[in-house]
Chain A
């Protein structure tokens, strides 16, 4: 019984953490290039609704994921036009993207509010899933969970082992220098921004097609913002993103388990539901307290517009 409870909590934690892993890794890559996209919430919302609609119409969750990714990229492209081509303020533009995305998803998602999707069966990895206790929790999961792990290694490899990653980091640190030795700063930032959008879209798709699977207005419920906070929490390091994401997944799940366990805890459900948000605040405070840590790790040009004089 004890082991069973642990297994199911671990399972649920990983599921809850997965969209955060995917979205935060995407944001991390775009932030490494110097682009701060506060529109994650909006991109996720659009990804979620697009994925849901396509899955509902075609019956294929994979087409749905593709659609979600595409929707996220379209949103990121809009953001890119504003901040990269038109040099608009990144903070304001990110807010605009969030407001727009959440509004638009509510609008286009209206017809899908009352429909449900068939649950997508998990993929059981042979042998690994037979490991006692953790096997069923970790290796009998949705495909996107495995994807998120692969994504993390891919991002690590890309940023720290590949030349393209080196160039991306260089652009994020000193765009002027990168330009003066001949790198196309804006193009590189566009690509990084689109990657961030694609991942946010997939994260949204995971929520609406695999996790719930339902579409409800406002269902992203701040996860885009939490993912942004996670990147700070991880001090822009991919491995820490996954740790942080599962930590949050754990917080989100713990309250559900407490509420569902019938434990006699005299606490309103709203207090428990607010825990992930409090946790975000606490985590931000802890990590930001040391200003030097942030300064040493944050991409130097983060949030600053760049224009080459030609």
Chain B
């Protein structure tokens, strides 16, 4: 997701360091999250902290922000050694943080949310005014009177940023800020960040997206397995060289042949409309889509635009009042339960792995039973066939290269990538005619992500119809044959992936595709 003509950041500024970390180590009972990390940030510097999921970036930032304490090591702030013992303390030092999963309160309005993070007892009226001023000055439009639950993801992020800016921070930590934004919104955010840096604020920018870092950051520190594996000036590197620092080898590439198009329609959404059960949810409106045997259709969109509702409507977790809007292999399935839809030939991989796709405190073998009970013949007259269950589970572990303690291991004990491989394997081994996958590689390490994408492509080549809903545009372009966009509960027409590009899909993600209703409100986009 990059600007076509990246403006290379100017050289990193000089001056006495604002923040120095020396030998930071953080030990959790089962894992060493940070191990001997050194890092220096200067005033006005945008400093990237680059690393895979699980490399220890978030832990390090939480230590700087005082959410957790380091086990060893020292922090030096503007030349003085400090013990940051709470976020309030961090804020009083001049450190602000924008969390990846926002720390906002849905049932409070914007002003109240901001007030909660400020010291003392701010006057709410005056504060609302201040919010408006800051939001204007930095191009972050937001209405201080609105309730947070009514805001789009992008607006929420702005609230988080404004909340930090109101305290005139001298260091701003941004944790994966672009994962919830359209490409266009990313560009706006970068402008704001550059403006801040020009005013002398230091920025710690956490990301795993190489192109973004190249575009924005002066310097970068790369983490792998909790250790620093290198420091560099991103503008002097290539994505490939940074990737090697990040994962220790070359980026794996998916082999992606052309699809054998022209297969029969396996999944048809015929005017699917559904009001969300969640008062804060998005209603689906008149969605039409066909997915054919032997193709992968990707659905892009900013999170919170109806992806969940669409998934639940397709999977049967939110059954419809009518039969026809969801058709599986020609069967009108709108009122079927998830179980019945599975029997009709559909498989699902949900976004939430622990807690939905798998029961955290059950073994992998028991988790096989969750969806494969009938599809893989794991029952005997209403009783569980324990032997068959173990066997199926062991086969899945072997075939999908799941690193774990065997079928008896608790789902909770697996890493995100390995659990995702197991769930994916469980669904694929039942030979579905249609597979619906949400966020297939979200929070998964690069190696597992490549494996999973490859598995999807191979499944497509065997003739399965695959629908992928993802917020990662790069991923959709890598594996999809066709791409459509969901915005505010509506679905755009689809376009062959080869005939479109990130720019165009980015525009569509804010609800503006050709033929979209002119006056369509796009509250959840941007």
Direct touch of chains A and B (CB < 8 A)? yes
Q: Which residues of A contact B (CB under 8 A)?
A: 163, 166-167, 169-170, 173-174, 176-183, 291-292, 295-296, 300, 309-310
The contact of B108 among A163, A170, A181, A292, by CB within 8 Å, is A170
User: What separation, in Å, do the CA atoms of A310 and B279 have in the docked complex?
Assistant: 34
Name A296's closest neighbour in chain B (CB-CB).
Answer: B279
Q: Are B108 and A169 neighbours in the complex by a CB distance under 8 Å?
A: yes
A224 to chain B, nearest CB (A): 27
Interface string of B95-110 (1 = CB under 8 A from A): 0000100111111100
Name B69's closest neighbour in chain A (CB-CB).
Answer: A310
User: What separation, in Å, do the CA atoms of A208 and B88 have in the docked complex?
Assistant: 46
User: What separation, in Å, do the CA atoms of A279 and B479 have in the docked complex?
Assistant: 59
User: How many A-B residue contacts, CB cutoff 8 Å?
Assistant: 60
Q: Are A181 and B116 neighbours in the complex by a CB distance under 8 Å?
A: yes
Q: Are A180 and B87 neighbours in the complex by a CB distance under 8 Å?
A: yes
A179-B67, A295-B279, A309-B68 as given contacts; A174 in contact with B88, CB under 8 Å: no
Q: List 19 A-B contacts (CB under 8 A).
A: A163-B121, A166-B112, A167-B116, A169-B105, A170-B105, A170-B108, A173-B107, A174-B106, A176-B103, A177-B102, A177-B105, A178-B103, A179-B67, A181-B103, A182-B90, A182-B91, A292-B279, A295-B279, A300-B107
Which residues of B (5-57) have their CB < 8 Å from a CB of A?
28
- Which A residues are in CB contact (< 8 Å) with B107? 169, 173, 300
Q: Are B106 and A300 neighbours in the complex by a CB distance under 8 Å?
A: yes
- Which B residues are in CB contact (< 8 Å) with A309? 28, 68
Q: Are A180 and B108 neighbours in the complex by a CB distance under 8 Å?
A: no
User: What separation, in Å, do the CA atoms of A163 and B112 have in the docked complex?
Assistant: 9
A166-B115, A182-B87 as given contacts; A174 in contact with B105, CB under 8 Å: yes
Name B89's closest neighbour in chain A (CB-CB).
Answer: A182
B175 to chain A, nearest CB (A): 11
A170-B105, A174-B103 as given contacts; A181 in contact with B117, CB under 8 Å: yes
- How many residues on chain B are close to A (CB under 8 Å)? 28
Q: Are A181 and B102 neighbours in the complex by a CB distance under 8 Å?
A: no
- Which B residues are in CB contact (< 8 Å) with A166? 108, 112, 115-116
User: What separation, in Å, do the CA atoms of A163 and B121 have in the docked complex?
Assistant: 7
Name B120's closest neighbour in chain A (CB-CB).
Answer: A163
User: What separation, in Å, do the CA atoms of A44 and B69 have in the docked complex?
Assistant: 41
- Which B residues are in CB contact (< 8 Å) with A296? 279
User: What separation, in Å, do the CA atoms of A124 and B284 have in the docked complex?
Assistant: 61
- Which B residues are in CB contact (< 8 Å) with A181? 87-88, 103, 116-117
Known contacts A163-B115, A176-B103; can you find 5 more A-B pairs with CB under 8 A?
A169-B105, A170-B105, A174-B105, A181-B116, A309-B68
Residue among A169, A182, A296 with max Cβ neighbours from chain B (10 Å): A182
Name B28's closest neighbour in chain A (CB-CB).
Answer: A309
The contact of B103 among A169, A180, A310, by CB within 8 Å, is A180
User: What separation, in Å, do the CA atoms of A177 and B91 have in the docked complex?
Assistant: 15
B84 to chain A, nearest CB (A): 11
B426 to chain A, nearest CB (A): 28
B282 to chain A, nearest CB (A): 15
- Which A residues are in CB contact (< 8 Å) with B88? 181-182
B272 to chain A, nearest CB (A): 22
B523 within 8 A of A: no
Which residues of B (247-295) have their CB < 8 Å from a CB of A?
277-279
A232 to chain B, nearest CB (A): 17
5 closest A-B pairs by beta carbon, nearest first, are A182-B87, A177-B103, A182-B88, A180-B103, A181-B117
B86 within 8 A of A: yes
Which residues of B (49-81) have their CB < 8 Å from a CB of A?
65-69
B34 to chain A, nearest CB (A): 14
- Which B residues are in CB contact (< 8 Å) with A173? 105-108
- Which A residues are in CB contact (< 8 Å) with B86? 182
Name B88's closest neighbour in chain A (CB-CB).
Answer: A182
User: What separation, in Å, do the CA atoms of A309 and B65 have in the docked complex?
Assistant: 14
A137 to chain B, nearest CB (A): 38
A165 to chain B, nearest CB (A): 11
User: What separation, in Å, do the CA atoms of A175 and B99 have in the docked complex?
Assistant: 15
Q: Are A177 and B67 neighbours in the complex by a CB distance under 8 Å?
A: no
B407 to chain A, nearest CB (A): 28
- Which B residues are in CB contact (< 8 Å) with A174? 103-106
B519 to chain A, nearest CB (A): 28
A149 to chain B, nearest CB (A): 27
A288 to chain B, nearest CB (A): 15
A166 to chain B, nearest CB (A): 6
The contact of B66 among A167, A176, A182, A295, by CB within 8 Å, is A182
A296 to chain B, nearest CB (A): 5
User: What separation, in Å, do the CA atoms of A169 and B106 have in the docked complex?
Assistant: 11
